Amino acid sequence: MNSLLSISDLSADQIKQLVDKAIALKAEIKNKGGHDKLPLKNKSMAMIFDKSSLRTRLSFEIGMTQLGGHAVYLAPDDIKLGKRETVHDTAKVISSMADIIIARVTSHEDVSDLARYSTVPVINAMTDVEHPCQVLADLMTIYEKFGTLTGLKLAYLGDADANVIYSIALAAEILNLELAIAAPKGYEMAPAARKQAPSVKHYNDPAKAVKGAHVVITDTWVSMGKEAESQERLKKLMPFQVTTDLMAKADPKAIFLHCLPAYRGKEMTTEVIDGPQSAAFEEAENRLHMQKAVVLELLT
């Protein structure tokens, strides 16, 4: 693995190895308050951000510190990727100084070009197409709860034409997980994405998708850049809200996941995200440990 641009860059064995590594790193922090070794001492990470962030910035920056390295945050106005100068030139300059690059950008093409022209590893920290780090943290959380990544059913409700569910679908194909998606008309997974995840089942009825699921997943209905569509989205997506009644149709031990930020009363009720089946905040914390595992895989 030279870079991580897509969840499909990984095999099933690589995903499982990353999960094992992340769980070990998490245990070391919980039990000892830090890591015995600092394998990234004198290593630097350049963090390119086109979009605002809470979890992505915190997890990568704190993760580098915990491993002995240093992270440099580059805000949207700092470099204006692809506008102030070409992505080619930006990649050449940054990779001549930093040891690794993470990029949270609008266009997947930009992160692909960064990796193409960079001499150091590049990690996709979110694009319009994929969010592999988020989904790896999801898989880590699922493994912690069930002790396995096989024989499980995942259900996703809401807007299925989005980066997180696309990465989940690819991961389900790689790991042979059952995945059922329920979305209203006009919000289904794009045909090109469906071709890459042919095993996924698609419904317009959320109850059918959730039936027997071990993991119920949703995401914000109004992503950054789609605020003008908010009223129309809320109207069409409200029947796909995750409620306690809907969770009752899942497996009795089912967990609820949400990549956050969450909007209570919209994509899920307060009772669900703050209830006993919710693992959303453990999922958020796991971004830190999983991303450390990814960075270590790329740099050591």
Reference 240, options 185, 182, 164; nearest CA is 182
Q: Is the pLDDT of residue 225 over 70?
A: no
Are 120 and 92 within 8 A, CB to CB? no
Q: What is the pLDDT of residues 52-64, one digit of tens each?
A: 899 999 999 999 9
Q: Are 126 and 159 part of one and the same domain? A: no
Q: Are 191 and 252 part of one and the same domain? A: yes
* Domain count within the chain: 2
Asked whether residue 1 is assigned to any structural domain, the reply reads no
CATH number of 80's domain: 3.40.50.1370
Asked whether residue 2 is assigned to any structural domain, the reply reads no
Asked whether residue 259 is assigned to any structural domain, the reply reads yes
Whether the predicted model's global pTM rises above the 0.75 cut: yes
What span, in angstroms and rounded, lies between the C-alpha atoms of 150 and 214? 11
Q: Are 237 and 173 part of one and the same domain? A: yes
pLDDT category of residue 224 using cuts at 50, 70 and 90: low
Q: Are 70 and 117 part of one and the same domain? A: yes
Q: Are 72 and 192 part of one and the same domain? A: no
Q: What is the mean pLDDT of the chain?
A: 96
Residue 85 has what DSSP assignment? B
Average pLDDT of 248-258? 98
pLDDT category of residue 223 using cuts at 50, 70 and 90: confident
Domain that holds residue 47: 7-131+286-299
Q: Are 100 and 199 part of one and the same domain? A: no
C-alpha angle 51-57-106 in degrees, rounded to nearest 5: 25
Asked whether residue 71 is assigned to any structural domain, the reply reads yes
Asked whether residue 290 is assigned to any structural domain, the reply reads yes
Q: Are 138 and 278 part of one and the same domain? A: yes
Q: What is the pLDDT of residues 257-289, one digit of tens each?
A: 999 999 999 999 999 999 999 999 999 999 999
Q: Are 37 and 148 part of one and the same domain? A: no
Q: Are 124 and 169 part of one and the same domain? A: no
Q: What is the pLDDT of residues 32-76, one digit of tens each?
A: 999 999 999 999 999 999 988 999 999 999 999 999 999 999 998
Q: Are 142 and 267 part of one and the same domain? A: yes
Q: Is the pLDDT of residue 228 over 90?
A: no
What span, in angstroms and rounded, lies between the C-alpha atoms of 260 and 37? 31
Q: What is the pLDDT of residues 122-161, one digit of tens each?
A: 999 999 999 999 999 999 999 999 999 999 999 999 999 9
Q: Write the burial class of residue 126 (CB in 10 Å: 0-12 exposed, 13-18 middle, 19+ buried).
A: buried
Enzyme catalytic residues: 104, 131, 134, 219, 259, 287
Q: Are 120 and 165 part of one and the same domain? A: no
Q: Are 147 and 112 part of one and the same domain? A: no
